[in-house]
Amino acid sequence: MEYDVNSRKIILLQGDITEVEADAIVNPANKDLILGGGVAGVIRRKGGPEIQAECDKIGGTFVGGAVITTAGKLKAKYVIHAVGPRMGEGDEDEKLKNATLNSLKVADENGLKSIVFPAISTGIFGFPKDRCANIMLSTVIEYLKKDTGLERVMFCLYDDNTYRIFEETLKKLTRQC
Distance of CA 114 to the CA centre of its chain: 11
pLDDT at 60: 94
- With 90 as the cut, is the pLDDT of residue 3 above it? yes
pLDDT tens digits for range 95-106: 999 999 999 999
User: Could you tell me where the beta strands, DSSP code E, fall in the chain?
Assistant: 2-5, 8-14, 24-29, 66-70, 78-83, 114-117, 152-157
Position 176 confidence tier, pLDDT thresholds 50, 70, 90 = low
> pLDDT (tens digit, 9 = 90+) per residue, 61-88?
999 999 999 999 999 999 999 999 999 9
**Rounded Cα–Cα distance for residues 140 and 136 (Å):** 6
Domain 2-176 falls under CATH 3.30.930.10 = no
Residue 177: its pLDDT value, please? 54
Cβ atoms of 66 and 99 within 8 Å: the answer is: yes
Cα 71 from chain centroid (whole Å): 14
Give residue 56's pLDDT band: very low, low, confident or very high (50, 70, 90): very high
Average pLDDT over residues 124-132: 94
Over residues 89-96, mean pLDDT: 96
Cα 122 from Cα 162, distance rounded (Å): 9
